[in-house]
């Protein structure tokens, strides 16, 4: 196991700490605010609206709308308790700005869309839309229509998620970010997602969540081109992290490519370093060319306990492991080993398709 793999867990844990400031939500005029001791009765969906065999018992009721401050989504808890992905609990009457990746979609959760409408997980919902999360974690309109996460309006039937970066509708992170470890600039230019990173310390980790996607079984494909690099051979890595429970600080699968034409794969059963099980490490393959001017199409097939990794249709490795069967998030992460190294990459044509 490379030492940067060891240290990235520490850096990632610190970088992923999320602080959410919750404020009390004031009801609109004419709406009585429940007393602190008043019990909240949550009515289940009607039989005419939702198939009771597909949707679990009703859970919390929340309202989602466009963000009012820095965060892109405004969340209000109307009934019950709502638990964010970081474990924070919001009580009835709470309201807070959140990012899509902060939201947890537990079976039974009911969602109202605010009067301004909202684009959620790549789907545009009109004002007043009512949704419920079914047993499979799918958002279902109360007319029984399933809205698959990440599927843009008019997208291909087999696509769960498609991103060509012609716009930033899904709100990929952009702008300059810097600290004592280094700096990174993220921008969308000419239909590509461009990341430029410079390390100031050893083992600089750059984390990039795929906004609005959660899944378990799928095939992903993405074009990656190194535009500039001053990193020595073996000092730069590109990681695709799948089925994340809490980013790369929690359980996940990791498939990593280095600029010395090697790769490794591993699973984190928990967020602890001691839980890591490597599948392969440092195996060379001529298809891995993370060098300036070379475009690589990376494809990963995740089907149940089977994972296959390709670059430009050449098989890098395949593995069978059932440690994490559950759906989770995804991120695309970079690392630089030595201070003063710079890397500039272009990402494009991310397509995630359902498996038969």
Q: Based on the domain organization, do 170 and 319 belong to the same domain?
A: yes
Rounded to an integer, what distance in angstroms lies between the CA atom of residue 52 and that of residue 343?
52
Res. 23: pLDDT tops 60: no
Number of domains in the chain: 2
Q: Based on the domain organization, do 267 and 170 belong to the same domain?
A: yes
Res. 96: pLDDT tops 90: yes
pLDDT tens-place string over residues 159-172: 788 899 988 988 99
Would 240 be classed as within a structural domain? yes
Rounded to an integer, what distance in angstroms lies between the CA atom of residue 37 and that of residue 137?
32
Mean pLDDT of 250-265: 96
Greater pLDDT, 44 or 263: 263
Q: What pLDDT sits at residue 33?
A: 45
pLDDT tens-place string over residues 307-324: 999 999 999 999 999 999
Res. 31: pLDDT tops 50: no
Q: Based on the domain organization, do 221 and 345 belong to the same domain?
A: yes
Q: What pLDDT sits at residue 75?
A: 94
Would 262 be classed as within a structural domain? yes
User: How many beta carbons lie within 10 A of that of residue 222, not counting itself?
Assistant: 20
Greater pLDDT, 182 or 19: 182
User: How far from 254 is each of 29, 42, 76, 168, 267, CA to CA, in Å?
Assistant: 50, 40, 34, 26, 6
Q: Based on the domain organization, do 240 and 270 belong to the same domain?
A: yes
Q: What pLDDT sits at residue 283?
A: 95
Q: What pLDDT sits at residue 246?
A: 78
Mean pLDDT of 284-306: 95
Rounded to an integer, what distance in angstroms lies between the CA atom of residue 105 and that of residue 95?
17
Q: Based on the domain organization, do 199 and 287 belong to the same domain?
A: yes
Res. 63: pLDDT tops 60: yes
Q: What pLDDT sits at residue 139?
A: 80
Res. 245: pLDDT tops 90: no
Q: Please say which residue of 95, 124, 147 terminates a domain.
A: 147
Does this model's pTM top 0.75? My answer is: no
pLDDT tens-place string over residues 184-236: 999 999 999 999 999 999 999 999 999 989 999 999 999 999 999 999 999 99
Res. 263: pLDDT tops 60: yes
Q: Please say which residue of 147, 170, 203 terminates a domain.
A: 147
Q: Based on the domain organization, do 143 and 165 belong to the same domain?
A: no
By C-alpha distance, which of 337, 293, 314 is closest to 6?
337
Q: Is 140 helix (H, G, I), strand (E, B) or coil?
A: strand
Rounded to an integer, what distance in angstroms lies between the CA atom of residue 187 and that of residue 72?
17
| 3-state SS record for 141-181 | ECCCCEECCCCCCCCCCCEEEEECCCCCCCCCCCEEEEECC
Q: Based on the domain organization, do 121 and 225 belong to the same domain?
A: no
Would 304 be classed as within a structural domain? yes
Mean pLDDT of the chain: 81
- pLDDT confidence band for 306 (50 / 70 / 90): very high
Res. 17: pLDDT tops 80: no
Host domain of residue 196: 3-17+161-353
Q: What pLDDT sits at residue 155?
A: 39
Q: What pLDDT sits at residue 56?
A: 57
Res. 16: pLDDT tops 80: no
Q: Based on the domain organization, do 207 and 312 belong to the same domain?
A: yes
Would 26 be classed as within a structural domain? no
Q: What pLDDT sits at residue 70?
A: 66
Greater pLDDT, 41 or 340: 340
Q: Based on the domain organization, do 119 and 201 belong to the same domain?
A: no
Q: Please say which residue of 97, 124, 147 terminates a domain.
A: 147
Res. 24: pLDDT tops 50: no
Portion of the chain with pLDDT greater than 90, in percent: 56
Would 320 be classed as within a structural domain? yes
Q: Based on the domain organization, do 182 and 324 belong to the same domain?
A: yes
Q: Based on the domain organization, do 347 and 300 belong to the same domain?
A: yes
Would 129 be classed as within a structural domain? yes
Q: Based on the domain organization, do 199 and 343 belong to the same domain?
A: yes
Q: What pLDDT sits at residue 145?
A: 53
Res. 49: pLDDT tops 60: no
- pLDDT confidence band for 47 (50 / 70 / 90): very low
Q: What pLDDT sits at residue 44?
A: 38
Rounded to an integer, what distance in angstroms lies between the CA atom of residue 173 and that of residue 40?
37
User: How far from 58 is each of 54, 299, 328, 354, CA to CA, in Å?
Assistant: 12, 38, 23, 28
- pLDDT confidence band for 28 (50 / 70 / 90): very low
- pLDDT confidence band for 243 (50 / 70 / 90): very high
Rounded to an integer, what distance in angstroms lies between the CA atom of residue 139 and that of residue 132?
6
């Amino acid at each position: 196991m490379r030492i940067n793999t060891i240290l990235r867990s520490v850096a990632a844990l610190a970088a992923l700490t999320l602080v959410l400031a919750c404020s009390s939500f004031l009801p609109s005029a004419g709406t009585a605010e429940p007393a602190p001791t008043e019990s909240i009765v949550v009515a289940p969906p009607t039989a005419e609206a939702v198939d009771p065999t597909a949707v679990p018992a009703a859970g919390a009721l929340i309202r989602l709308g466009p963000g009012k401050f820095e965060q892109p989504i405004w969340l209000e808890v109307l009934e019950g308790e709502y638990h964010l992905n970081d474990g924070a609990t919001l009580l009835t009457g709470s309201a807070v700005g959140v990012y899509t990746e902060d939201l947890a979609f537990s079976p039974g959760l009911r969602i109202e869309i605010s009067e301004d409408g909202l684009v959620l997980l790549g789907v545009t919902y009109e004002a007043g839309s009512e949704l419920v999360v079914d047993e499979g974690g799918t958002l279902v309109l109360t007319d029984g229509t399933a809205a698959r996460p990440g599927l843009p309006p008019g997208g291909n039937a087999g696509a769960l998620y498609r991103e060509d970066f012609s716009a930033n509708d899904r709100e990929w992170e952009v702008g300059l970010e810097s600290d004592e470890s280094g700096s990174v600039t993220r921008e969308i230019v000419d239909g590509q997602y461009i990341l430029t990173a410079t390390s100031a310390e050893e083992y600089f980790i750059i984390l990039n969540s795929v906004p609005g996607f959660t899944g378990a079984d799928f095939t992903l494909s993405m074009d990656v081109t190194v535009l500039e690099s001053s990193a020595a051979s073996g000092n730069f890595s590109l990681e695709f992290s799948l089925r994340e429970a809490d980013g790369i600080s929690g359980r996940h699968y990791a498939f990593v490519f280095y600029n010395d034409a090697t790769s490794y794969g591993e699973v984190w059963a928990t967020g602890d370093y001691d839980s890591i099980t490597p599948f392969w490490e440092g195996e060379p393959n001529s298809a891995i060319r993370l060098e300036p001017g070379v475009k690589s199409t990376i494809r990963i097939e995740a089907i149940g306990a089977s994972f296959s990794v390709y670059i430009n249709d050449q098989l890098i490795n395949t593995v069978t492991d059932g440690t994490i069967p559950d759906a989770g998030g995804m991120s695309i992460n970079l690392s630089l080993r030595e201070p003063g190294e710079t890397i500039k990459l272009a990402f494009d044509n991310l397509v995630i398709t359902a498996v038969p």
